Structure 1
Amino acid sequence: MFIKSKYIVLEDRVLENGALEIENGKIKNIIENSSNLKDCIDYKNSIIAPGFVDTHVHGFSGHDIMDKDAEGLKIICEDIVKIGVTSFLPTTLTSSTENLNQAVKVVGENKNCNGAKIRGIFLEGPFFTIKHKGAQNPSYFSEPNIDKLKKWQELSGGIIKKIAIAPELNGTEEFVKEARKIGVYVALGHSDATYEEAKAAVDAGASIFVHTYNGMSPLHHRKPGMVGAALTLKDVYAELICDGHHVHPAAADVVMKCRGYDSVALITDCMMAGGMPEGDYKLGDFDVKVADGTARLESGSLAGSILRLKDGVKNVINWGIASPFEALQMASLVPAKSVGIDDVCGKIDIDRDADLVVLDSNYDLEAVYLDGNLLK
Structure 2
Amino acid sequence: MKKFVYADKFFLEDGVAGPGYLEINKGKFAGFIETLPEESEVLNFTGHWIAPGLVDTHIHGFMGHDVMDNEPVGLNAISNGLLECGVTSFLPTTLTSSFETLSDVVAMIGENYSKVQGAKIKGIFLEGPFFTEVHKGAQNTKYFCDPSIEMLETWQKQSNHFIKKIAIAPERQGADEFIEHAVKERVTVALAHSDATYKEAKRAVEKGASIFVHTFNGMSSFHHREPGMAGAAMNLPNVFAEIICDGHHVHPAAATILMNTRGRDQTVLVTDCMMAGGMPEGCYQLGEFPVDVGGGAARLKSGSLAGSILQLIHAVKNAVEWGIAAPEEAIYMASTAPAKSVQLDGECGKIANGYDADFIVLTPQFELMGTYLNGICRYQAENFIQKEGVR
Structure 1 pair 171–356 and aligned structure 2 pair: CA distance change class (3 A): same
Between the aligned partners of 2:127 and 2:35, the Cα distance in structure 1 is 45
Aligned equivalent of 2:8, options 1, 6, 9: 6
Aligned equivalent of 1:78, options 72, 77, 80: 80
Q: Deviations over 1:193-216 (max 9, x none)?
A: 000000000000000000000000
Judge conservation of contact 1:30–1:349 (CA < 8 Å) in 2. no
DSSP-derived class of the 1:111 partner? helix
Aligned equivalent of 1:98, options 87, 97, 100: 100
Between the aligned partners of 1:367 and 1:103, the Cα distance in structure 2 is 31
Deviates more, 1:258-267 or 1:36-45: 36-45
Judge conservation of contact 1:50–1:346 (CA < 8 Å) in 2. yes
Aligned equivalent of 2:267, options 258, 264, 267: 264
Between the aligned partners of 1:276 and 1:372, the Cα distance in structure 2 is 28
**Are 2:35 and 1:66 equivalent residues in the alignment?**
no
**Are 2:292 and 1:289 equivalent residues in the alignment?**
yes
Aligned equivalent of 2:91, options 76, 86, 89: 89
Aligned equivalent of 1:22, options 24, 30, 35: 24
**Are 2:196 and 1:157 equivalent residues in the alignment?**
no
**Are 2:375 and 1:368 equivalent residues in the alignment?**
no
**Are 2:301 and 1:298 equivalent residues in the alignment?**
yes
DSSP-derived class of the 2:19 partner? strand
Q: Name structure 1 gaps, 5 residues minimum.
A: none
Percent identity at matched positions? 57
Between the aligned partners of 1:37 and 1:198, the Cα distance in structure 2 is 58
DSSP-derived class of the 1:190 partner? coil
Counterpart position of 1:40: 42
DSSP-derived class of the 1:5 partner? strand
**Are 2:328 and 1:325 equivalent residues in the alignment?**
yes
Shift of 1:34: 4.9
Q: Deviations over 1:134-168 (max 9, x none)?
A: 00000000000011001101100111000000011
**Are 2:341 and 1:343 equivalent residues in the alignment?**
no
Judge conservation of contact 2:86–2:371 (CA < 8 Å) in 1. yes
Aligned equivalent of 1:143, options 129, 143, 146: 146
Shift of 1:28: 2.3
Opposite residue 46 of structure 2, the aligned amino acid is K
DSSP-derived class of the 1:337 partner? helix
Judge conservation of contact 2:4–2:40 (CA < 8 Å) in 1. no
Counterpart position of 1:189: 192
Alignment RMSD (CA, Å):
1.2
Judge conservation of contact 2:107–2:158 (CA < 8 Å) in 1. yes
Runs of 4+ residues deviating >2 angstroms:
32-39
Between the aligned partners of 2:107 and 2:150, the Cα distance in structure 1 is 16
Between the aligned partners of 2:169 and 2:244, the Cα distance in structure 1 is 19
> Structure 2 length normalisation: TM-score?
0.94
Counterpart position of 1:356: 359
Between the aligned partners of 1:38 and 1:105, the Cα distance in structure 2 is 45
Between the aligned partners of 1:282 and 1:227, the Cα distance in structure 2 is 28
Between the aligned partners of 2:330 and 2:37, the Cα distance in structure 1 is 28
Deviates more, 1:100-109 or 1:21-30: 21-30
Between the aligned partners of 2:223 and 2:38, the Cα distance in structure 1 is 58
Between the aligned partners of 1:120 and 1:321, the Cα distance in structure 2 is 30
Counterpart position of 2:236: 233
Shift of 1:118: 0.4
Counterpart position of 2:278: 275
DSSP-derived class of the 2:318 partner? helix
Judge conservation of contact 1:192–1:216 (CA < 8 Å) in 2. yes
Between the aligned partners of 1:37 and 1:14, the Cα distance in structure 2 is 26
DSSP-derived class of the 1:148 partner? helix
Judge conservation of contact 1:287–1:297 (CA < 8 Å) in 2. yes
Between the aligned partners of 1:241 and 1:26, the Cα distance in structure 2 is 31
Counterpart position of 2:211: 208
Between the aligned partners of 1:267 and 1:350, the Cα distance in structure 2 is 26
Structure 1 pair 176–329 and aligned structure 2 pair: CA distance change class (3 A): same
Between the aligned partners of 1:279 and 1:315, the Cα distance in structure 2 is 24
Q: State how many pairs are aligned.
A: 376
Opposite residue 30 of structure 1, the aligned amino acid is F
Between the aligned partners of 1:96 and 1:330, the Cα distance in structure 2 is 33
DSSP-derived class of the 1:261 partner? coil
Shift of 1:29: 2.7
DSSP-derived class of the 1:123 partner? strand
Between the aligned partners of 1:244 and 1:20, the Cα distance in structure 2 is 35
Q: Name structure 2 gaps, 5 residues minimum.
A: 381-391
Deviates more, 1:22-31 or 1:268-277: 22-31
> Structure 1 length normalisation: TM-score?
0.98
